[in-house]
């Protein structure tokens, strides 16, 4: 282990000029979605920041979140790892494998106990004692609990870790639960999205690195800087919505003219995320700009939302405040869903309609 | 790419009357007007993070052409990708683009200032240079 040098010292030792340091601070400020007036404060904080140790655990997931992270352009993953954080365990990105990898994790937990940031992607299957996902013979439940014990905070990356995501979707055969069901005594930051926007993942890490504390969160535990507004609030097609100009099919005149996609099922009004401003692929575009309605992937239970192409039935009120009573139909409200029903997220579920595969097919054929 | 080109998509302006500024560009220019006035009256500098704006396809280019091109452009690369600083045709308004080391845009700002701070020599760097210069002179004297 190297001794704890500050980021400022480290960059100077590498011959990075103050000017370039200021540039990196401007980039970091933008990545954190903070106003440019904060650049001097970010510079002062980053000067003194010490690289935090980060342990990343992947559970029941598709690796899409890691794929997304590796595509972050501001900062790039490389500059994040080499300059800013010490990524001590990530089973997809690290060179070590097998028992060496397990040993690396144990060592990081021991060396930085009480100080490291734990990042989790994927949900955790709890049915049948968690046998549906194991690593080196240990269940995800077991591994999460052990690693969370020594963490200062947990960042749940992706909708699976934040809200259960696709594994949690009806009928949830593995009894999948989000991190917040199992870790109750640590601060949890939910960075939802399927996957989350790359710069939102690195932006949250940059915030922790810079200020040494977790950012302000919304009622679902998501950083307000990125999830404070709905897609609809910031959507460039919004003037068409306000004028009542809607595309009715994907190839009609309205679609070609770039009108609002609400009637094609856009979940923008009930979805909180930064796609409309941060965009994807280095800021090139985002789904609505490419002509596809928002599917609401950063909201709880988006998969069971009644069909991606079904128009939201009413209102643009945020899900969190929803008290409507559209009942969840469909079969299994599994064990995990039962637990979750106690929580706020169940409100989100009620706000959606469920739909059968048959209905979906009919809709597609129509 | 020919396949994509075969799909005809035309984005109509929200503001359909020809020749007038797009709504977003209009709003940003208004903000710049306020900031420029403040610069002149009080010397207060400011910046707008372009990545925080919900720009329409085409807005970006429209904004750039509305601001125009000025007399100065500068570029530096201190090892983390280039930064390009261009004075726009609107004096006091600068367009600053930071690239990462893979040449993708990492952040982009419109700065309202007499000269962007990033172009100025920084005290830390001046100190390092001064130290180096003194050492060199010292060495030469002892020869
Ligand atoms: S409904 Fe969707 S496409 Fe229409 S304005 Fe809202 S977010 Fe944009």
- A298: domain CATH number? 4.10.480.10
Cβ neighbours of A17 in B, within 8 Å = 78, 122, 124-125
Closest residue by Cα to atom 6, ligand 1, is: A232
Report which ligand 1 atom has the smallest distance to the Cα of A262: 1
Helices (H), A112-173: 140-149, 159-163, 165-168
CA-to-CA distance for A95 and B105, rounded, in angstroms? 29
Residues 6+ apart with CB under 8 A from B138: none
List the CATH number of the domain containing A96: 3.40.50.700
Q: Are residues A303 and A315 both part of a single domain?
A: yes
The DSSP line for B16-29 is -STTSPPHHHHHHH
Instruction: Confirm whether A1 is domain-assigned.
Output: no
Q: Which residues form ligand 1's pocket by a CB distance below 6 Å?
A: A 231-232, 235, 237-238, 241, 260-262, 266, 268-269, 288, 294
CB–CB contact B122 A277 (8 Å): no
Residue showing tokens 């710049």: B32
Q: What dotted CATH number matches B8-142? A: 3.30.1370.140
What tokens does A284 get?
């090139």
Q: Of the candidates A200, A226, A252, which is a domain's last residue? A: A226
Assess if residue A70 is contained within a domain.
yes
Residue A280 lies inside a defined structural domain of this protein: yes
Strands A124-125, A116-121: parallel, antiparallel or unpaired by DSSP?
unpaired
* Chain centroid offset of residue B93 CA: 9
Q: Note down pLDDT in tens along chain A; length 366 residues.
A: 445 788 888 888 888 899 999 998 999 898 888 899 999 988 988 888 888 888 999 999 999 998 888 887 766 766 766 666 777 778 777 777 888 888 888 988 999 999 899 999 999 999 999 999 999 899 999 999 999 999 999 999 999 999 999 999 999 999 999 999 999 999 999 999 999 998 899 888 888 888 888 899 999 999 999 999 999 999 999 989 999 999 999 989 999 988 999 999 999 999 999 999 889 987 888 999 999 999 999 999 999 988 899 998 754 444 433 333 332 322 233 233 333 333 333 343 334 433 334 444 454 454
| Domain boundary residue, one of A226, A248, A281 | A226
Does residue A135 sit in the same domain as residue A163? yes
Range of the domain at A153: 7-226
Domains identified in chain A, total number: 2
ipTM for the whole predicted complex goes beyond 0.90:
no
The verdict on a CB contact (< 8 Å) between B105 and A282 is yes
On whether both A54 and A160 belong to a single domain, the answer is yes
Torsion of CA A35, A36, A38, A40, to 10 degrees: 170
Torsion of CA A54, A59, A64, A70, to 10 degrees: 20
Domain co-membership, A305 together with A186:
no
Cβ contact, residue pair B47, A36, below 8 Å:
yes
Q: Which residues are CB-contacts of A216 (< 8 A; sequence separation ≥ 6)?
A: A223, A224, A225
For B123, the 3-state DSSP assignment is helix
Q: Is the domain of A258 the same as that of A197?
A: no
- Cβ(A348)–Cβ(A302) below 8 Å: no
Do residue A240 and residue A193 come from a single domain?
no
Which helix (H) or strand (E) is A225 found in, with range? helix A224-227
Of B9, B54, B107, the CB nearest to A27: B107
Are A197 and A247 members of one domain? no
Q: Is residue A2 part of a domain?
A: no
Contact criterion met (CB < 8 Å) for B106 and A27: yes
Are residues A214 and A270 part of one domain? no
Query: In chain B, what residues touch A289 (CB-CB under 8 Å)?
Result: 57
What is the spatial distance between Cα A210 and Cα A206, in angstroms, rounded to a whole number?
A: 6
Which residue do the tokens 């650049």 mark? A39
- Are A210 and A262 in a shared domain? no
Asked if A194 and A292 sit in the same domain, the reply is no
A107 and A256 housed in the same domain: no
Which residue in A176, A78, A307, A1 sits closest to B81, CA to CA?
A78
For residues A56 and A184, state if they share a domain.
yes
The token pair at A20 is 């370039």
């Amino acid at each position: 282990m190297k001794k704890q040098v500050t980021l400022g010292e480290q960059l100077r030792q590498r011959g990075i000029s103050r000017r370039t340091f200021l540039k990196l601070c401007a980039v970091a400020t933008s990545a954190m979605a903070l106003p440019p007036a904060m650049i001097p404060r970010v510079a002062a904080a980053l000067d003194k920041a010490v690289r935090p140790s980060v342990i990343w655990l992947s559970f029941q997931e598709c690796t899409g979140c890691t794929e997304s992270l590796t595509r972050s352009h501001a900062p790039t993953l490389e500059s994040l790892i080499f300059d800013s954080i010490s990524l001590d365990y990530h089973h997809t990105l690290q060179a070590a494998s097998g028992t060496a990898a397990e040993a690396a994790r144990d060592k990081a937990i021991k060396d930085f106990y009480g100080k490291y940031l734990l990042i989790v992607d994927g949900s955790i299957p709890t049915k049948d004692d968690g046998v549906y996902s194991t690593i080196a013979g240990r269940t995800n439940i077991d591994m999460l609990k052990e690693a969370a014990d020594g963490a200062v905070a947990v960042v749940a990356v992706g909708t699976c870790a934040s809200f259960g995501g696709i594994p949690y979707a009806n009928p949830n055969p593995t009894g999948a639960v989000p991190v917040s069901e199992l870790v109750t005594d640590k601060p949890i930051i939910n960075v939802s999205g399927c996957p989350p926007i790359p710069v939102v993942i690195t932006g949250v890490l940059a915030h922790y690195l810079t200020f040494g504390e977790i950012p302000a969160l919304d009622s679902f535990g998501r950083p307000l800087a990125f999830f404070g507004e709905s897609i609809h609030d910031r959507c460039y097609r919004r003037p068409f919505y306000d004028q009542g100009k809607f595309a009715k099919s994907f190839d009609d005149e309205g679609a070609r003219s770039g009108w609002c996609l609400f009637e094609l099922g856009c979940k923008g009004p009930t979805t909180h995320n930064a796609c409309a401003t941060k965009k994807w692929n280095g800021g090139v575009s985002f789904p609505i700009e490419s002509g596809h309605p928002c599917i609401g992937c950063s909201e709880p239970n988006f998969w069971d939302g009644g069909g991606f192409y079904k128009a939201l039935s009413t209102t643009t009120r945020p899900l969190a405040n929803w008290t409507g009573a559209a009942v969840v139909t469909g079969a299994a409200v599994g064990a995990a869903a039962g637990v979750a029903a106690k929580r706020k997220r169940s409100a989100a579920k009620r706000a959606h309609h469920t739909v059968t595969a048959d209905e979906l097919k009919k809709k597609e054929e129509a | 790419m020919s396949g994509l080109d075969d799909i005809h998509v035309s984005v109509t302006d929200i503001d359909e009357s020809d020749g007038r500024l797009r709504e977003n560009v209009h709003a940003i220019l208004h903000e710049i007007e306020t900031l420029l006035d403040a610069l002149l009256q009080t010397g207060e500098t400011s910046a707008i993070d372009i990545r925080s704006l919900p720009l329409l396809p085409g807005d970006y280019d429209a904004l750039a052409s509305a601001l125009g091109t000025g007399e100065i452009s500068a570029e530096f690369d201190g090892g983390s990708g280039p930064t390009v600083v261009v004075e726009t045709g609107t004096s006091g308004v600068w367009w600053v683009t930071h690239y990462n080391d893979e040449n993708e845009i990492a952040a982009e700002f419109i700065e309202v200032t007499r000269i962007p701070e990033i172009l100025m020599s920084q005290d830390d760097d001046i100190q390092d240079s001064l130290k180096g210069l003194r050492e060199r002179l010292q060495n030469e004297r002892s020869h």
